[in-house]
Amino acid sequence: MMDYQVGNYYQDAVCTLNTLQTNASALEQVRRGRSLPAQQLDAMTGFLERAGLSVEALDHLNIIHVTGTKGKGSTCAFTEQILRSYGFRTGFYSSPHLVQVRERIRINGRPIGKELFTKYFWQVYGRLDDTKEAHGGAMPAYFRFLTILAFHVFLQEKVDLAVIEVGIGGAYDCTNILRRPWVCGVSSLGIDHTQILGDTLEQIAWQKGGIFKPGVPAFTVSQPDPALAVLRERALERRCPLWVCPALEDYPGPAHPGPGPAPGHAPLRLGLAGGHQRLNASLALQLSSAWLRRRCAADGGVTAGPVEGDAPLPRAAAFKPSSIMVKGLADTEWPGRSQTLARGTLTYFLDGAHTLRSMQACVRWFREASAQRDRRARVPGVRVLLFNTSGERDSDAMLKLLVPCGFDFAVFCPNITEASANGNADQQNYNVSVENMLNRCLDNQRSWRLHAGPAPNPSLPRPLRAGPAPDSTRVFPCILSALRWVAQGRDPVLGGPPGGRAPPSLGGPAAPVHVLVTGSLHLVGGALKHLDPAASR
């Protein structure tokens, strides 16, 4: 009975939170206010104070602040796991969530429980609602509210540190209300959110460098020269010491006995798959090391000054990671990013890639990982793409990148978890109509047929086939119906395919099937809700 009541109260909280979903108008306000950053952050300060918090109080959270276009979530996950492995009580704020909104606010690596979320939600919402009449009825938008809620939770739960992932950009992002983080990081930069951040790499780098603070050490992964030059200028103007991270291969790995008189070093093992994670892991090592130096050193840690004049950015030292750091990297988990779920003859490959650079990394990972499974099975698996995008993503360009994967089928559906979304308030989106989502899927289907080429010659081995069959694309109204069609009744968690039995062209019951789910973290989250029901508890 108590669990039932907690679940109901939690759903009430999430439904109320969803009334703050004004993303379309909020983003338009951000675009109009790009030349007025002080007003953006002043508004956030006002909401923070109405919620009973203060900017000064946030100084006590000992924050690691991370921005970037791709990889910032993975970098935060590596960093949080390393410092938690040292025994520190960690807070971690990230976005978006995959299945439940409370995933965005984590204590010691775990999403806060429904009861805790509900309790703190009503504390913050009640204070803001009680004061809104005196402020023209103003309430913070969805992401701003969650950011304030995360700060409140971390202060109440007395974490030793908080890892904070930037939402969009950096300079005007509401997380940039922070005055004194302990260390900042910049993951790989690319073109994304162009209507807000600008449409050149230099403009985007300027926005990301907006999180730099005077005297606060900052680290960046290797970037294209134009972006690195802008980051250097931002660090110089803000009197911020900035280093470029070394390659992960430069760090001495764990010692192991090797042939000959000298011992060798094993490569560092990562809990997250994909070669692109090596950059994120190097950044996480530098962030966690800088945080530990400040926490543990009597002199307060890093004291180097900012780059002066025309001097190049210094390269951070490739130190020997401690055994705890090594274990932290290996133990890191971050669902929905290069994640593999094996279910009998079905293998789901889930990656929320949604930019061109991240899709390139996803393609490399999927081709290598699916080929490994083919070699183990000694038979080529049927390859299925489940794809969707959201926002202003370049779906056509991403689909072009996916063609070389050799998919036998391409399946498209909107980011709707199931036809009836009752009890699924966490994944409701009031900012786009179902009609628009389905039209996008139909556009994606047409693009795929255009780029995937002619029908295959079935007499040729898979690598020599020219393309998918003419009837090899499907559009479904929701994620569950798409997954059921792909699984063809072979996944007991999902149930049978929609409309009865699926066509035999997807392979017999013993044929291995490799399913890549990509293009949107929201799509991946909806898939995980069905593939891993424990994630919804």
Q: What angle do helix axes 356-377 and 395-402 make, rounded to 10 degrees? A: 30
Q: What is the DSSP letter of 215?
A: T
pLDDT for position 434 = 83
Q: Is residue 50 part of a domain?
A: no
Rounded Cα gap, residues 187 and 70, in angstroms? 7
Top-confidence residue, 418 or 410: 410
What are the phi and psi torsion angles at 236 (to 5°)? -65, -45
Q: How many Å apart are CA 257 and CA 158, to the nearest integer?
A: 43
Model pLDDT, residue 183:
98
Residue with tokens 């290996």: 330
Query: Residue 144: left (phi > 0), alpha (psi -120 to 50), or beta?
Result: alpha
Q: How far apart are CA 200 and CA 190, in angstroms?
A: 9
Neighbours of 368 (CB within 10 A): 12
Least confident range from 102-116, 133-147, 172-186, 248-262: namely 248-262
Neighbours of 376 (CB within 10 A): 9
pLDDT at 182: 97
Residue where one domain finishes, among candidates 331, 361, 387: 331
Is residue 125 one of the residues assigned to a domain? no
Does residue 372 lie in a domain region?
Answer: yes
Residue at 192 is within a domain: yes
Closest CA to 352 of 360, 362, 343, 342: 362
Residues 435, 324 share a domain: no
Q: Is residue 305 domain-shared with residue 344, that is, in the same domain?
A: no
CA dihedral (388, 391, 396, 399) positive or negative: negative
174 assigned to some structural domain: yes
pLDDT digits (tens, 9 = 90+) for 228-243: 999 999 999 999 999 9
In this structure, are residues 521 and 355 in contact, taking their beta carbons and an 8 Å threshold? Answer: no
The structural domain count of the chain equals 2
Q: Is the pLDDT of residue 517 over 80?
A: yes
Identify whether 44 is part of a domain. Answer: no
Do residue 64 and residue 165 come from a single domain? yes
Is the model more confident about 361 or about 421? 361
pLDDT in tens, 74-84: 999 999 999 99
Residue with tokens 């978890």: 417
Q: Indicate if 264 and 352 belong to the same structural domain.
A: no
Kindly report the CATH number assigned to the domain that includes residue 343.
Answer: 3.90.190.20
356: pLDDT strictly greater than 80:
yes
Res 537: pLDDT: 64
- Averaged pLDDT for residues 17-33: 63
Same domain, 292 and 401: no
Nearest residue to 154 via CA among 144, 145, 164: 164
Same domain, 522 and 387: yes
- Regarding whether 276 and 294 lie in a shared domain, the answer is yes
Instruction: Supply the pLDDT for residue 192.
Output: 59
pLDDT at 391 over 80: no
φ, ψ of residue 63 to 5 degrees: the values are -85, 145
Cis peptide before 461 (omega within 30 of 0): no
> Are 84 and 65 in the same domain?
yes
Distance separating alpha carbons of residues 275 and 107, to the nearest angstrom:
28
Distance of CA 537 to the CA centre of its chain: 21
Q: Are residues 255 and 297 in the same domain?
A: yes
Hey, how many other C-beta atoms are within 10 angstroms of the C-beta on 51? Answer: 21
Q: How confident is the model at residue 41 (pLDDT cuts 50, 70, 90)?
A: confident
Residue 132, sorted as left (phi over 0), alpha (psi -120 to 50) or beta, turns out to be alpha
Work out the pLDDT band at 490, boundaries 50, 70, 90: confident
**Which range, 151-160, 371-380, 425-434, is most confident?**
151-160
What is the pairing mode between strands 339-343 and 346-351?
antiparallel
Single residue among 267, 302, 331 that ends a domain in this structure: 331
Q: Same domain, yes or no, for 220 and 103?
A: yes
381 plus 268 within the same structural domain: no
Residue 459 has pLDDT above 50, yes or no: no
- Among 55-69, 438-452, 501-515, where is mean pLDDT lowest? 501-515
CATH code, domain with 300? 3.40.1190.10
Place 197 in a pLDDT band, splitting at 50, 70 and 90.
low
- Residue 335 carries which side chain, given as an amino acid letter? P
Token pair for 190:
């690319």
The pLDDT tens digits of the residues spanning 251-270 come to 998 876 555 444 557 889 99
Query: Which pLDDT does position 344 carry in this prediction?
Result: 86
In the predicted model, what is the mean pLDDT of the chain? 86
Q: What pLDDT does residue 28 have?
A: 53
- DSSP character at residue 452: S
Position 393 pLDDT exceeds 70 = yes
- Asked whether residue 318 falls in the same domain as residue 346, the answer is no
For residue range 394-406, list pLDDT tens digits in order. Answer: 899 999 999 999 9
Q: Does some domain include residue 468?
A: yes
Nearest CA among 218, 272, 271, 216 for reference residue 244: 218
**Sign of the C-alpha dihedral computed for residues 297, 300, 302 and 305 taken in this order:** negative
pLDDT over 70 (residue 4): no
Higher per-residue confidence, 52 vs 433: 52
From 292, 308, 331, give the residue that closes a domain.
331
Higher pLDDT, 248 or 4: 248
Decide the pairing of beta strands 473-475 and 346-351.
unpaired
Mean pLDDT, residues 149-158 taken together: 98
Cβ-in-10-Å burial (0-12, 13-18, 19+) of 297 comes to exposed
pLDDT-above-90 percentage for the chain: 67
Query: How would DSSP label each residue in 358-423?
Result: HHHHHHHHHHHHHHHHHHHHTSPPEEEEEE---TT--HHHHHHHHGGG--SEEEE--S-S-S--TT
Backbone angles phi, psi at 92, to 5 degrees: -145, 120
Asked if residue 156 is part of any domain, the answer here is yes
For residues 382 and 52, what is the distance between their CA atoms, to the nearest angstrom? 56
Q: Answer whether residue 100 shows pLDDT above 50.
A: yes
Pick from 213, 183, 196: nearest CA to 143: 196
Q: How many residues does the chain have?
A: 537
pLDDT in tens, 273-322: 988 899 999 999 999 999 999 998 744 444 445 556 566 789 999 999 99
What range defines the domain where residue 486 resides? 339-536
